[in-house]
Amino acid sequence: MYNKTEEVDTLLSAESTISLLLTAVYAVTGWLFATVFRGKVSQIDYWVLIWLVYDVLIHITLEGSFVVISLVSTVQDSDHFAAMTWKEYAKADERWGISDPTIVSLEILTVTIVTLFAIMLIYAIIEGRYYRHFLQISVCVCELYGGWMTFCPEWLTGSKYLHTDNWLYLWVYLVFFNMLWVVIPLLLLWQSWAEMKILLGGQGDIISETITTTTNTVRTYETRSKAKASKKD
C-alpha cells in the first residue's frame, strides 16, 4: 500500500532539513538585528530590515558559496560542505547542480552589486539617508530581473531541468523560496512609490509653475532677440 508518510520521510532528508533550518536561522538573525534598531525606524521599515538582513545573509553565504564553487568546478562535483545545500536544491532545478552559465552569471551580479546595495540600503534606512529609495528601487529591480532571467529561459525551453513531481521540490523549493524574491521586492517598490508620492506630491504645482515660468522667460528672450535683429536689418 502506498504510504504518504514514507514519501515525506524520504523527501525530508538530512540535507533538506539542514537547509530549511539554515534559512530559519537567517530569518531569526534578521529579526534580532531589526529589533536592535526598532526605536530608530518605522513599523514598516522594521519588517523591511528583517527581510534585508535575511536577503543579505542568503546572498553572501549560500549564493556566494555557489558562485565560488561554480567558478572552479560544479556543485555536483564538489565535496565541500557548502555544496550540500545546492545539491539538495538541484533536486528541484538541475541547473544549479551543473552550474549553468546563465545562473552563475546572474548570481555573480547578485552576490556582488545587489548585496552591496542591500547593505547600503540597511544603513540608509537606519540612518534616514536621502538615497534610501534609490537603493531600494535598484535592489528590487535587480531581484526581479534575476528571478525572471532564472526561470523565463527555462520555461521557453520546456522546463526540462525542473522537477515538479514532488511537493517539496515544487511548492517549497521552487514556488515558496523563489516567490519570496518576487512578492517582497514588488511590495518594496510600492512602498518607494508611495513615499516618493508623499514627498513630491506637494511640490507638483511648484514644479509646474517653475517649468511654465522658465518656458515663458525663454520665449520672451527669443521674441526680444528677434525684434532687435529686425531693427538692425
> What digits encode the pLDDT tens for the residues 74-124?
999 999 888 999 999 999 999 999 999 999 999 999 999 999 999 999 999
Helix (H) or strand (E) holding 155: helix 132-156
Helix (H) or strand (E) holding 129: none
> What digits encode the pLDDT tens for the residues 57-79?
999 999 999 999 999 999 999 99
Which triple of cell numbers denotes residue 138?
Answer: 535598484
> With 80 as the cut, is the pLDDT of residue 179 above it?
yes
Model confidence pTM above 0.75: yes
State the Cα angle at 132 between 126 and 136, rounded to 5°. Answer: 110
| Higher-scoring residue by pLDDT: 35, 220 | 35
**CA distances, 97 to each of 43, 66, 72, 88 (Å):** 40, 10, 13, 9
Task: State the DSSP code for 170.
Answer: I
Unique residue bearing C-alpha cell 522546463:
159
